[in-house]
Amino acid sequence: MNGTEGLPRLGVGIGWRPEIAGFVADLPGLRFTEVIAESVHLAHPPDHLLELRDRGASVVPHGVKLSLGGAEPVAPERVAHLAACAELLGSPLVSEHVAFVRAGGVEAGHLLPVPRSRAALDALTANIRRTRAELPVPLAVEPIAALFDWPDDEYEEGDFLTELVERTGVLLLLDVANVYANARNRGRDPVGLLDRLPLDHVAYCHVAGGEEGGGRYHDTHTAPVPPEVIDLVAELSARLPDRTRPPGFLLERDGRYPPAAELRAELDAIAAASGLEPVT
Amino acid sequence: MSTGHMSAGDPGGLEELAARQEALVRAMTAGGPLPPGFDAAAVRAAADAILRKRAGEVARAWPALAACYGDRWRAAFTAWAAERPTRGSFRDSWDFARAHRDGLSPAVALELALRETRWDYDGTGEPRLRKAAFRRVPGGFAVQVRGRLRVFGKAARR
């Protein structure tokens, strides 16, 4: 048992954004999308999203402001919103991040890394338990791309995530581009991390592009997916344990949207590298 | 799978974690000192990336405001926001506009005045819709009753 048994076969997907709603709606084989949970107005959900739900696509609410890795308890109203999104959209699961976004009432404005320490594992474990108690569906958590580490890390990333999964049984949302970005910015081999993760708990994966700036690779989601990330999709797919429902692979794009043909080509490249059916 | 780790953990560890997370967030967003041991250049790079992201979010929240600055928008916004933690792009855009009244185009100055007519916002708490308001705005005046806004004078023709 690893918690992935009840999930549908997701296949290749793309993150739903208002700017590309028409493109997403017109993908003939699409059965999987994701929406930023905080952008969903429960009383006025976008028609395009409801149409995807009604034609049987899996629509996964993806939270970005819950702060599961914060030392403070997660806000009940934020958990309730995630749960309500899952109910509204008929979602098979919801996802959030292994990160914190605020502390002491100050908003960071983005996802920040937690120290890889026992205290952070305690905080994450407690907040994942609080969140799952209110959710109607499973939760997957995504390790983030971080430009810096805490000075007092007690664990390597793979061991930290393995310990988190062992403590909680939580599913993983593995962002291949984050694995690539973290390894590249630290001069490490991204495949090495894949070999240390509990891949049987991966519910689905993210794929995205980023940009070099100031000597660092930034996971911006506003650029084409680099070939190295597509290669890593293939490396990961070759390592995934055999199971009846393989994890989905979802393309994230958050700005500077390219022509539809380019997005279709990226979706096809992800399908080819992961061995999943094309959706275009 | 191991299930032997369901303890609540060490509360002292959580308190210390809370303090250290707050110190890091303040260093990155509010001009606080960087806690010891971090790679200062890497943390600065992450803080700068957050500022650029915020500039983009505020530009999407109020495109005409960003358009007043053209190519200089990102620099103008990040300079102002560097030591101001975000309060969401709606309020960030509003706070920025109030702090830069002289830099606004006439159209955006009017949009700001109309926003002030519609909402009660003291700059610290959450904005609240006014039940009713009457305001002078650039080029005329505006009346708002229960969310219905009417503009009179030259401003009405914009």
Q: DSSP of A21-89, one letter per residue?
A: HHHHHT-TT--EEEEEGGG--TTS--HHHHHHHHTT-EEEEE-SS--TTSSSPPPHHHHHHHHHHHHHH
Q: Is residue A131 part of a domain?
A: yes
What stretch of H or E contains B80?
Answer: helix B73-81
Mean pLDDT score of chain A: 96
Beta-bridge partner residues of A35: A61
What average pLDDT does range B84-95 have in this prediction? 95
B14: confidence class by pLDDT, cuts 50, 70, 90: very high
Q: How many Cβ atoms from other residues are within 10 Å of residue A47's Cβ?
A: 10
B66-77: pLDDT as tens digits: 999 999 999 999
pLDDT, residue A3, reads 79
Interface test with B, best of A110, A116, A168, A186 (most B CBs within 10 A): A110
Q: Is residue A111 part of a domain?
A: yes
Annotated domain spans of chain B: 19-104, 106-158
B5: confidence class by pLDDT, cuts 50, 70, 90: very low
Nearest alpha-carbon partner for A240 in A266, A209, A268, A204: A204
B16, B49, B87: residue with CB nearest A218: B49
Interface test with B, best of A102, A106, A219 (most B CBs within 10 A): A106
Beta carbons of A136 and A152 less than 8 angstroms apart? no
pLDDT, residue B9, reads 60
pLDDT, residue B68, reads 96
Backbone angles phi, psi at A54, to 5 degrees: -70, -20
Instruction: Say how many CB pairs under 8 Å bridge A and B.
Output: 113
List the end-to-end C-alpha distance of chain A, in Å, as a whole number: 33
B6, B18, B53: residue with CB nearest A103: B18
Mean pLDDT score of chain B: 90
pLDDT at residue A274 tops 70: yes
| B61 CA: distance to closest CA in chain A (Å) | 13
Beta carbons of A78 and A65 less than 8 angstroms apart? yes
A218-271: pLDDT as tens digits: 999 999 999 999 999 999 999 998 877 789 999 999 989 999 999 999 999 999
Nearest alpha-carbon partner for B95 in B108, B112, B111: B112
What average pLDDT does range B108-135 have in this prediction? 91
| B62 CA: distance to closest CA in chain A (Å) | 16
Beta-bridge partner residues of A61: A35
Alpha helices in A140-175 (DSSP H): 157-168
Residue contact A126–B8, C-beta within 8 A: yes
A70, A121, A122: residue with CB nearest B21: A70
Q: Which residues neighbour A130 within 8 Å (Cβ) at sequence distance 6 or greater?
A: A73, A74, A79
Q: Which residues neighbour B25 within 8 Å (Cβ) at sequence distance 6 or greater?
A: A102, A103, A104, A106, A107, A108, A112, B85
Q: Which residues neighbour B66 within 8 Å (Cβ) at sequence distance 6 or greater?
A: B55, B58, B59, B73, B77
Beta carbons of B64 and B108 less than 8 angstroms apart? yes
Beta carbons of A206 and A144 less than 8 angstroms apart? no
Nearest alpha-carbon partner for A204 in A13, A66, A6: A13
- Chain A residues lying within 8 Å of B51, measured CB to CB: 109
The Cα diameter of chain A in Å comes to 49
What average pLDDT does range B21-40 have in this prediction? 97
Q: Which residues neighbour A11 within 8 Å (Cβ) at sequence distance 6 or greater?
A: A29, A31, A32, A248, A249, A276, A277, A279
Domain harbouring A269, CATH code: 3.20.20.150
- In angstroms, the CA B30 to CA B33 distance is 9
The ipTM value here is 0.95
Q: For chain A, what's the residue count? A: 280
Q: What percent of chain B has pLDDT over 90?
A: 70
A1: confidence class by pLDDT, cuts 50, 70, 90: low
What average pLDDT does range B105-120 have in this prediction? 93
Owning domain of residue A263 = 12-274
A166's tokens: 């062992």
What stretch of H or E contains A239?
Answer: helix A227-239
B59: confidence class by pLDDT, cuts 50, 70, 90: very high
| A15 CA: distance to closest CA in chain B (Å) | 18
B18, B29, B39: residue with CB nearest A108: B29
| B87 at interface of A, judged by CB pairs closer than 8 A | yes
Residue contact B46–A125, C-beta within 8 A: no
pLDDT at residue B7 tops 70: no
One-letter amino acid of B148:
R
pLDDT, residue A65, reads 97
| Overall number of domains in chain A | 1
| A29 CA: distance to closest CA in chain B (Å) | 31
B4's tokens: 């032997």
What average pLDDT does range A54-70 have in this prediction? 97
- In angstroms, the CA A241 to CA B8 distance is 32
Residue contact B54–A109, C-beta within 8 A: yes
What average pLDDT does range A102-108 have in this prediction? 97
Nearest alpha-carbon partner for A253 in A66, A44, A25, A23: A23
| B18 CA: distance to closest CA in chain A (Å) | 5
Q: Which residues neighbour A242 within 8 Å (Cβ) at sequence distance 6 or greater?
A: none
